[in-house]
């Protein structure tokens, strides 16, 4: 599937590429990013390949990520208008100021103006709440976001790293009051992180939010670079964060990725990305690229075809036990379906139910 085979994002008409270019690595302020020149070259290569979806945040490399995008495409209207630029608010860029961050109106409006300045654009295509601010009522957040949409400074809104129940509350509130709806949900999702399948993914599908997974390679853990053989001798670029995720479970996943990659003539990273992009509800997977080689390698994942057997092997290696109530609900099927088959799902008559008309009171 080419990068220019676009998909609509959630319950909206916004067209985005199947892979979104994440720009958290643009700038070296955090110690492990790309130079300005390399970042600009990566943007150009992504656009030349047909990509149109850039994701950043006010806090990424202390604001430099937004500035790099603004300098390279934001101040060129013809290039800017062809792109879907997404950024995030919530993080505090002003130490010592309690209102410098958060999802309340004062912080959000100020953050939006700052992002518009750095991005050198009049509008933000998709404005994410970066994570949940449990100190701010969600109705204040949704009303303020709706005002930004009404003003024309924001086109669409999304939520990131927020509990499913709070997302559902926000979307219901927006529907009830006629606010701009939430069209997208950004969450961590990968073979190594599948707990979102319990609540967040079903919620997003039900309420019209397209899912844009972040860290689909678990920060490099799923690239095949780290194996059982070298995990104690290699020093990851992100240090302890990566080391803490080189668990037996994740190394089992890497073993399976290596086997599948050999079968389909791809890299483990490409297989891991293909698995995520093919999951139900996923609209556009966020890929990071610190170097041009990483971008080129990641984009090839769109051409990887995984068979049912490959998917089964990857699912088995990465399976995460369901949590309550998902762990309990399958056992209620016989009580509900009464021994019938519905939508292809069979059931038996539960011994707790009347076995005939004579047994019913």
Q: Which residues are catalytic?
A: 60
Q: How far apart are CA 20 and CA 85, in angstroms?
A: 10
Backbone angles phi and psi of 313, in degrees to 5: -65, -45
The dihedral built from the CA positions of residue 342, 344, 345 and 349, taken in this order, carries a sign that is positive
Joined together, the tokens standing for residue 33 give 């990013």
Q: What six digits make up the tokens of 273? A: 């990305």
Enumerate residues 6+ apart whose C-beta is below 8 A from 130: 57, 59, 88, 89, 90, 91, 160, 161
Number of H helices, E strands in the chain: 13, 10
* DSSP assignment string, 302-347: GG----HHHHHHHHHHH--PPPTTTTTGGGGHHHHHTT--BTTB--
Torsion of CA 262, 268, 269, 272, to 10 degrees: 100
Between CA 56 and CA 116 the distance in angstroms is 12
The SS3 assignment for 15 reads strand
């Amino acid at each position: 599937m080419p990068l220019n085979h676009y998909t609509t994002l959630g319950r909206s008409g916004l067209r985005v590429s199947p892979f979104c270019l994440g720009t958290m690595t643009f700038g070296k302020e955090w110690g492990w990013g790309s130079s300005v020149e390399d970042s600009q070259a990566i943007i150009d290569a992504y656009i030349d390949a047909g990509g149109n979806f850039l994701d950043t945040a006010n806090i990424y490399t202390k604001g430099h990520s937004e500035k790099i995008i603004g300098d390279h495409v934001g101040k060129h209207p013809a290039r800017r208008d062809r792109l879907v630029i997404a950024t995030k608010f919530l993080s505090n860029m002003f130490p010592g100021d309690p209102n410098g961050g958060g999802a309340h109106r004062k912080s959000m409006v100020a953050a939006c103006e700052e992002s518009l300045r750095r991005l050198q654009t009049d509008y933000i295509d998709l404005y994410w709440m970066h994570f949940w601010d449990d100190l701010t009522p969600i109705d204040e957040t949704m009303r303020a976001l709706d005002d930004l949409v009404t003003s024309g400074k924001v086109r669409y809104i999304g939520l990131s790293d927020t509990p499913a129940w709070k997302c559902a509350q926000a979307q219901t509130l927006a529907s009830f009051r006629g606010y701009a709806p939430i069209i997208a949900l950004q969450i961590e999702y990968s073979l190594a992180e599948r707990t979102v399948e319990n609540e967040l993914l079903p919620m997003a599908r039900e309420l019209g939010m397209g899912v844009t997974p972040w860290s689909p390679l678990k920060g490099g853990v799923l690239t095949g670079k780290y194996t059982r053989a070298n995990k104690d001798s290699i020093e990851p670029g992100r240090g302890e964060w990566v080391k803490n995720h080189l668990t037996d479970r994740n190394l089992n996943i890497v073993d399976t990725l290596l086997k599948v990659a050999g079968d389909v003539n791809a890299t483990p990273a490409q297989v891991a990305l293909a698995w995520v992009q093919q999951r139900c509800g996923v609209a556009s997977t966020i890929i990071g690229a610190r170097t041009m080689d990483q971008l080129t390698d990641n984009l090839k994942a769109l051409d990887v075809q995984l068979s049912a057997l490959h998917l089964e092997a990857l699912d088995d290696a990465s399976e995460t036990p369901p949590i309550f109530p998902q762990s309990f609900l399958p056992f209620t099927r016989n009580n509900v379906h009464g021994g019938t088959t519905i939508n292809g799902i069979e059931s038996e008559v539960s011994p707790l139910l009347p076995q005939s008309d004579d047994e019913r009171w």
